[in-house]
Chain A
Amino acid sequence: MLRVSLPKVGTYEAWRNHARAFLASETPPEDILWHRGAGGGDLFAATVPTPRAAPQTTVPRDFVALARLAVHHSDPERFARLYALLWALGTRPRLTDDRGDPRVAHLNRLAKEVGRDRHKMHAFVRFRDMGSQTDRRRFAAWFEPSHPILEIGAPFFAKRFGDMDWSIFTPDMTAHFVAGTLTFTDPAPRPDLPDDAAEDLWRTYFRSIFNPARLKPKAMQAEMPKKYWRNMPEAGLIPELIATAESRAREMAEATPTLAPARAEKVAARVAQSQEALTASQDRFHAALDACTRCPLHANATQAVPGEGPTDAPLMFVGEQPGDREDLTGRPFTGPAGQLFDRALASAGIDRTTAYVTNAVKHFKFTPRGKRRLHQAPNREEIAHCRWWLDLERERVRPDLTVALGATALESLTGDRRALLERRGRIEETTDGAPLLVTIHPSYILRLPDPVHKAEEEARFIEDLRAARAHLPT
């Protein structure tokens, strides 16, 4: 029988070095007695000295992560179980993938318990101010974890409290962080830490943030087990808070509504006034469009997207509807199709700021799919309802030429969306007799999979835009 004593600090590395050496010497698990810290063990076993350099072995990454945590469990069998699993990996290298295997499942349970205990340590350590003579403030805490986890629990505090010195005392070891250096020393008896006035404020906070109308003590205890309570300053309040919760909630429910304080009316009048001023400062067309509920599309969209451009623009472009991007920015043609449109306009020699750009439908129609919104084409009623707004815009702008981008715009302007590709490039008339140039919507080009076809279509689109420009009276 071989006896291995592992140190309290560097436990994992020591276990790993021994385990490597044992694997190299083909020592079976049942021949080894593992032990952490001084003392204990078997009188008849031979103590194994720390191996110098043992050959490395390859293990799955999962195993390393598992072992790093599991060595800090309080279960005396943990080292032996880990070595037994390591031994078994020799014949079944993917054994750690098998979450149904009892050995793997057991060690995973240990690792999970250690991980949880460490997490609770990060959460429930409560420092007290120790006063300081230097510019680094000094704090200390007493904490009782369920497992010997200080070595893996302390680095979190070193990262978090980089500009202060602190000590965490536990029954198993003590950690000190002084001037940026973390050290571990032997356990000290529970220190008598000075009172800290901040604890009163913290208790006030704990008492006030609790909502007595939603008492759920079991949910609290599941996450904050009683074993941690004695080292938490706020925990002393819990019994009283629970005992008085019901009556406090009842009092709130039974209290008769009070009269509003005198200033409420004055404040309300002032708020109403400033909101009116805000509405009055808005363009009337925009304000009315913003409030539009003529069709159901307004309910899901962020905002109505009005047209953009000078009201004396000679050219008016009418697209389909705002897309995801336009819905967020509140401006037409700002998404991917808008970028293509801008490029094409530039190639055709048209300055976008001199044209009026708008859509046949003013709200974005979509179906939500996870984190995205999938574009949906507006139907006939939606187009018809929104025509009212488009007509207002056309009346305001009275362009020399309107350009219908795609079938929806064509339908809105002429009442007939059929045969778009045959009609493109032609000059038609809107239902009220104004000249209209027909072309495709730039998103049609974006959807084409074939790059050659895409380039051709983009060139044709630019041609149409040039034709529009040429049609303008000079």
Chain B
Amino acid sequence: MARLTLDQKLAILSDAAKYDASCASSGGQKRDSRDGKGIGSVTGSGICHAYAPDGRCISLLKILMTNFCIYDCAYCVNRVSSNVQRARFTPEEVVTLTLEFYRRNYIEGLFLSSGIIRTPDDTMADMVRIARMLREDHGFRGYIHLKTIPDASPDLLDEAGRYADRLSINVELPTDASVKSYAPEKSPARIRRAMADVRLRKEAAGDKTHTGRRAPKFAPAGQSTQMIVGADGASDTTILQSSTRLYASYGLKRVYYSAFSPIPDSSAALPLISPPLVREHRLYQADWLMRFYGFDVGEITGARPDGNLDLTMDPKLAWALANRHLFPVDINRADRETLLRVPGIGTRTVGRILKTRRHRTLRYEDLMRMGANLKNAHPFLTALDWRPRNLDAADLKARFAPPPEQLSLF
């Protein structure tokens, strides 16, 4: 086999990495290189430096160290039984690519993942070495996200956490049973234990030592995980229950939902459908409702007999339509929790309503200026000069449903 050029390796190893949904560069510890001794900064909120035509943000250089892998996970393009072309970066190549892209303002940093080669410890050790070279040899202060290998030794995890802003371990599929059938070499229990370990280490780093000195920071941007949606038969209720448990148990910053997408040289074990993008979007909306709007899983999926979210409208609107007896909400009197449940009104608008309400009574047109989506909100609220008339109308739901789609000629 001819030696691959850097360009060819980059093509193979970024293609292999694109099924990881996360590209976030947020939540890192704020720092910069104004002292001129290094390169890079983290602003806290993250920047998307480009968008691919799939609508996804490109914030980090997201690559695999190698796509050689000894595991055989049915959903994965890099599984051992696949015939995709294989490649492997040297640590120096990853470092150079990261720094040269960074200096041209293409990226916020590096998201490094890897296929498992030889043993989990060997793989993790190489990844940690790349992070160490960036941080210590090159004074790199940008963002680093490392995918951790579940069975790697605790010392390596500890070192990874000191160099990386974020660590992640994918739970891959919503239930243990599906992980066992599609990723036979992975152990859901060990994945959970690895996440528990990250949480413990992060908490330990937050405590002051007995001398009052702070322990070195451990993964300041926390940990995240990813679940593939649509590869197994799990319902949205199952998926959301699973993420509720993950958020509560391991202090995750994010659970990413990745619509199962056709891959080159796919396994016969999985359906090759076009990825359920709308479903993925609805799951993110539901996830937001649970984390920032005080909803719980039962409320969001409760009204649906099959346990799946309504694909035609956002879950908050669907919930409000199923719970009309709680509406309309008086925008001038309702408390924060109640306001958050009105469709078309987000956390920011709620903040503005509460602030303005201290000084005067709100009218309908005020809401327009405050950023409310009145198309969704108008039947569910009252204001000084507004009373909805159609809240009990039988066809209210139909008014929100999207117009019928014309069948395309074939």
Cβ distance A432 to chain B, nearest Cβ, rounded Å: 32
B369–A211 CB distance below 8 A: no
Instruction: Assess whether B208 is interfacial by the CB under 8 Å rule.
Output: no
Are A220 and B200 also in contact (CB < 8 A) when A99-B355, A198-B101, A211-B18 are? no
B48–A123 CB distance below 8 A: yes
Give CA–CA (A215, B102) in the complex, Å. 27
Residues on the A chain within 8 Å of B36, using CB: 162-163, 180
Instruction: Assess whether A189 is interfacial by the CB under 8 Å rule.
Output: no
B104–A220 CB distance below 8 A: no
Instruction: Assess whether B375 is interfacial by the CB under 8 Å rule.
Output: no
Residues on the B chain within 8 Å of A372, using CB: 248
Residue of A nearest to B268 (CB): A257
Instruction: Assess whether B26 is interfacial by the CB under 8 Å rule.
Output: no
Task: Out of B51, B185, B251, B370, name the residue touching A99 (CB < 8 Å).
Answer: B370
Give CA–CA (A128, B104) in the complex, Å. 6
Give CA–CA (A268, B55) in the complex, Å. 37
Residues on the B chain within 8 Å of A253, using CB: 262, 272, 274
Give CA–CA (A163, B38) in the complex, Å. 6
Residues on the B chain within 8 Å of A2, using CB: none
Instruction: Assess whether B396 is interfacial by the CB under 8 Å rule.
Output: no
Instruction: Assess whether A444 is interfacial by the CB under 8 Å rule.
Output: no
Q: Is the interface of B mostly helix, strand, loop or mixed?
A: loop
Task: Out of B14, B72, B366, name the residue touching A205 (CB < 8 Å).
Answer: B14
Task: Out of B47, B61, B261, name the residue touching A211 (CB < 8 Å).
Answer: B261
Give CA–CA (A211, B132) in the complex, Å. 31
Task: Out of A97, A141, A260, name the residue touching B359 (CB < 8 Å).
Answer: A97
Are A198 and B356 also in contact (CB < 8 A) when A100-B369, A215-B53, A232-B50 are? no
Instruction: Assess whether A129 is interfacial by the CB under 8 Å rule.
Output: yes
Give CA–CA (A199, B106) in the complex, Å. 10
**Residues 181-222 of chain B: 1 if any A CB is under 8 Å from the residue's CB, otherwise 0?**
000010001001101110110000000000000000000000
Are A368 and B244 also in contact (CB < 8 A) when A123-B48, A202-B106, A219-B51 are? yes
Instruction: Assess whether A280 is interfacial by the CB under 8 Å rule.
Output: no
Residues on the B chain within 8 Å of A94, using CB: 359
Residues on the B chain within 8 Å of A201, using CB: 6-7, 10, 97, 100-101
Q: Is the interface of A mostly helix, strand, loop or mixed?
A: helix
Instruction: Assess whether B279 is interfacial by the CB under 8 Å rule.
Output: no
Instruction: Assess whether B376 is interfacial by the CB under 8 Å rule.
Output: no
Q: Kindly specify which of B27-35, B317-325, B385-393 makes contact with the partner chain.
A: B27-35
Considering only residues 183-242 of chain A, those with a C-beta below 8 Å from chain B are 196, 198-202, 204-220, 223-224, 232, 234, 238, 241-242
Are A156 and B43 also in contact (CB < 8 A) when A223-B57, A373-B248 are? yes
Considering only residues 227-277 of chain B, those with a C-beta below 8 Å from chain A are 244-245, 247-249, 251, 259, 261-268, 272, 274-275, 277
B262–A252 CB distance below 8 A: yes
- Residue from A100, A220, A232 whose CB has the most chain B CB atoms within 10 Å: A100
**Residues 246-259 of chain A: 1 if any B CB is under 8 Å from the residue's CB, otherwise 0?**
00010011010110
Give CA–CA (A123, B58) in the complex, Å. 10
Residues on the A chain within 8 Å of B195, using CB: 302
Residues on the B chain within 8 Å of A204, using CB: 7, 10-11, 14
**Residues 119-161 of chain B: 1 if any A CB is under 8 Å from the residue's CB, otherwise 0?**
1000000000000000000010000000000000000000000
**Residues 278-314 of chain A: 1 if any B CB is under 8 Å from the residue's CB, otherwise 0?**
0000000000001000000001101100000000000
Considering only residues 75-101 of chain A, those with a C-beta below 8 Å from chain B are 94, 97-101
Considering only residues 99-157 of chain A, those with a C-beta below 8 Å from chain B are 99-102, 105, 119, 122-129, 137, 139, 141, 156-157
Instruction: Assess whether B70 is interfacial by the CB under 8 Å rule.
Output: yes
Residues on the A chain within 8 Å of B19, using CB: 211
Instruction: Assess whether B379 is interfacial by the CB under 8 Å rule.
Output: no
Cβ distance B370 to chain A, nearest Cβ, rounded Å: 5
A161–B248 CB distance below 8 A: no
A302–B275 CB distance below 8 A: no
Give CA–CA (A119, B48) in the complex, Å. 9
The count of residues in chain A whose C-beta lies closer than 8 Å to any C-beta of chain B is: 93
Instruction: Assess whether B17 is interfacial by the CB under 8 Å rule.
Output: yes
Residue of A nearest to B196 (CB): A328
Residue of B nearest to A155 (CB): B34
Are A161 and B61 also in contact (CB < 8 A) when A206-B52, A234-B50, A368-B247 are? no
- Residue from A158, A263, A268 whose CB has the most chain B CB atoms within 10 Å: A268
Are A242 and B53 also in contact (CB < 8 A) when A99-B352, A126-B105, A300-B245 are? yes
Instruction: Assess whether B304 is interfacial by the CB under 8 Å rule.
Output: no
Instruction: Assess whether A271 is interfacial by the CB under 8 Å rule.
Output: yes
Residue of A nearest to B139 (CB): A163
Instruction: Assess whether B3 is interfacial by the CB under 8 Å rule.
Output: no
Give CA–CA (A198, B7) in the complex, Å. 10
Residue of B nearest to A250 (CB): B262
Instruction: Assess whether A52 is interfacial by the CB under 8 Å rule.
Output: no
Instruction: Assess whether B54 is interfacial by the CB under 8 Å rule.
Output: yes
A205–B10 CB distance below 8 A: yes
Give CA–CA (A204, B12) in the complex, Å. 10
Residues on the A chain within 8 Å of B356, using CB: 97-100
Instruction: Assess whether B374 is interfacial by the CB under 8 Å rule.
Output: no
Are A290 and B39 also in contact (CB < 8 A) when A202-B106, A208-B10, A211-B261 are? no
- Residue from B18, B244, B249 whose CB has the most chain A CB atoms within 10 Å: B249
Task: Out of A98, A161, A330, A369, name the residue touching B360 (CB < 8 Å).
Answer: A98
Instruction: Assess whether A267 is interfacial by the CB under 8 Å rule.
Output: yes
B193–A241 CB distance below 8 A: no
Instruction: Assess whether B336 is interfacial by the CB under 8 Å rule.
Output: no
Instruction: Assess whether A245 is interfacial by the CB under 8 Å rule.
Output: yes
Residues on the B chain within 8 Å of A206, using CB: 50, 52, 58
B55–A214 CB distance below 8 A: yes
Residues on the A chain within 8 Å of B101, using CB: 198, 201-202, 205
Residues on the A chain within 8 Å of B251, using CB: 371
Residue of A nearest to B39 (CB): A163
Give CA–CA (A372, B40) in the complex, Å. 35
Instruction: Assess whether B358 is interfacial by the CB under 8 Å rule.
Output: yes
Residues on the A chain within 8 Å of B70, using CB: 267-268, 270-271
Give CA–CA (A370, B193) in the complex, Å. 20
Give CA–CA (A260, B35) in the complex, Å. 53
Are A163 and B189 also in contact (CB < 8 A) when A97-B358, A220-B55 are? no
Task: Out of B32, B248, B262, name the residue touching A213 (CB < 8 Å).
Answer: B262
B263–A252 CB distance below 8 A: yes
Cβ distance A250 to chain B, nearest Cβ, rounded Å: 9
Residues on the A chain within 8 Å of B366, using CB: 99-100
- Residue from A137, A160, A199, A213 whose CB has the most chain B CB atoms within 10 Å: A160
Residues on the B chain within 8 Å of A198, using CB: 100-101, 104
Residues on the A chain within 8 Å of B81, using CB: 260-261, 264
Give CA–CA (A213, B280) in the complex, Å. 14
Residues on the B chain within 8 Å of A263, using CB: 80
Taking A201-B100, A202-B106, A252-B264 as given, write out 9 further A-B residue pairs in contact, using a Cβ cutoff of 8 Å, ordered by the A residue number. Answer: A102-B369, A127-B105, A212-B54, A214-B261, A223-B51, A257-B268, A302-B196, A327-B249, A328-B196
17 contacts between A and B (CB under 8 A): A97-B355, A157-B105, A161-B39, A162-B38, A205-B14, A207-B11, A213-B262, A224-B51, A257-B265, A260-B81, A264-B81, A268-B72, A302-B193, A328-B196, A328-B249, A368-B245, A368-B248
List residues of chain A with CB under 8 Å of any chain B CB: 94, 97-102, 105, 119, 122-129, 137, 139, 141, 156-164, 180, 196, 198-202, 204-220, 223-224, 232, 234, 238, 241-242, 245, 249, 252-253, 255, 257-258, 260-261, 263-264, 267-268, 270-271, 274-275, 290, 299-300, 302-303, 327-330, 366, 368-373
The 9 closest A-B pairs by CB, nearest first: A219-B55, A100-B366, A162-B33, A368-B248, A216-B55, A260-B81, A159-B32, A105-B369, A328-B196
